[in-house]
A = this chain, B = another copy of it.
Amino acid sequence: MPTTLVGALVEGKPNYTTIAHVGITDPGSVSLGMNKMHFTNVGIRMNGTFSVNIPSVNMVEKTDYCGLISGKKLDKSRLFKTFFGTLRTAPMIEECPINMECKLTRTVDFPSHDIFIGEIVATYCDEAVLSDGIVDLAKVEPILFAMNDRSYWKLGGRFAKAWSVGNKLKKTK
């Protein structure tokens, strides 16, 4: 899964936490599986907004650090340069090449987790990670996460076109 930094305004301050248990629901919405212990959850519920920020491989220390310490103990607004967008209450991280600001539309309640589903209201992108006008993941260098070995992985190379490579089989069936 892609490792993200989720942002919310908690007690008036930007707070960020590291979340890789994310998902895509319908094409315009994302989901976050967030343990109820997180300080960030308080802000998401209060404001009904959050951000999803995609850090690059060179941010791995800060990204991991952000998940090691709770916002209850550390003022994480000092870790990153924050900016705000149209929603005004979803703090985003300047250093991350991609940021999405989201409006909370549904919360699915699990015993230990809040599943926050948010509609993406705006996406911000560093021009340096574009190729021919679209996001180039080779330039983004996302931090991929695997729970089974508790490790971060890099993205490899693009190797096939979707809705295309399978056409070869169409002819033979």
Chain A interface residues (CB < 8 Å from chain B) = 1-2, 20-27, 29, 31, 33, 57, 60-69, 74, 106, 108, 110-113, 115, 117, 134-137, 144-170, 173
Contact = CB atoms under 8 A, between A and B. Distances in A.
Which of A2, A25, A157, A158 has the most CB atoms of chain B within a 10 A radius of its CB? A25
A59 to B, nearest CB: 10
A168 B37 CA distance: 24
* Integer count of this chain's copies in the complex: 2
A33 B24 contact: yes
A161 B153 CA distance: 9
Contact of A25 (B33, B165, B166): B33
Which of A111, A160, A161, A168 has the most CB atoms of chain B within a 10 A radius of its CB? A160
A134 B170 CA distance: 36
Given A26-B112, A155-B156, A162 B145 contact: yes
A150 to B, nearest CB: 5
Given A61-B166, A61-B168, A154-B157, 4 more contacts: A23-B25, A69-B170, A74-B173, A150-B163
Contact of A57 (B136, B151, B159): B159
A72 to B, nearest CB: 15
A106 B108 CA distance: 9
